[in-house]
Amino acid sequence: MNDKEFTHLTKNGIHMVDVSAKSEQNRLAISSGNIYLKKETIEKIQKSEIKKGNVLTVAQIAGIQAVKNTSDIIPLCHPLRITGIEIDFDVKTEYINCKVTVNSKGQTGVEMEAITGCSVALLTIWDMVKAVEKDSDGQYPNTHISNIEVIKKEKIN
């Protein structure tokens, strides 16, 4: 194995790569992911969103907190200076899409922050709709989170 290929592995195990020689830059990453729910649940969220938007607001807050805490949640991530976080939802008939945009000024990219925030926002939606999403045996035969991906990653000027 070429150690450079897995930058967190060395002959002595794992480490947090030193980035002190890298220049500070404004950086951006955008992630996307979906949670698939029962049509009935989606309809209820859509209606309540109009009235209150609470399910999605709770999910936004959870996602924002997760972006800020990524270096706690993912062991080898560097603590970063996050400068901005946007979380948007697109409620479709069979699923809700979540997009997370993370801005930072620092020495490493923020794609891990973006996908961690997206995963946690979707997990939070699941938590909020458990009561309607469960079947009569308390199981979730169709609920699932899929397509967590990095849509874009870039350095700005």
CB of 33 to a copy of itself, least distance (A): 8
Asked whether position 146 contacts a copy of itself by CB under 8 A, the answer is yes
Is the CB of 54 or the CB of 92 nearer to a copy of itself? Answer: 54
List CB contacts of 156: < 8 A, sequence separation 6 or more.
25, 26, 27, 28
**Residues 155, 104 contacting (CB under 8 angstroms):** no
Residue 90 C-beta: closest distance to a copy of itself, Å? 10
How far is 95 from 52, CA to CA, in rounded Å?
Answer: 19
Amino acid at 116: T
Report the residue number, 93 or 156, with the smaller CB distance to a copy of itself: 156
Q: Which residues contact 100 (CB under 8 A, 6 or more apart)?
A: 30, 31, 32, 63, 67, 85, 86, 87, 114, 115, 117, 118, 121
Least CB distance to a copy of itself at residue 7 (A) = 4
User: What is the footprint of a copy of itself within residues 74-133 (CB under 8 A)?
Assistant: 74-79, 81-89, 103-105, 107, 109, 111-112, 115-116, 119-120, 123-124, 126-132
Report the residue number, 93 or 122, with the smaller CB distance to a copy of itself.
Answer: 122
Q: Which residue type is seen at 117?
A: G
Of 3, 127, 135, 137, which is the active-site residue? 127
Tell the smallest beta-carbon distance from residue 108 to a copy of itself (Å): 9
Scanning residues 5 to 44, which ones bind a copy of itself (CB under 8 A)?
5-10, 12-20, 26, 33, 44
Respond yes or no: is residue 135 known to be catalytic.
no
Indicate the SS3 state at residue 91: strand
Q: Which H or E run includes 96?
A: strand 95-106
Residues with catalytic roles: 127
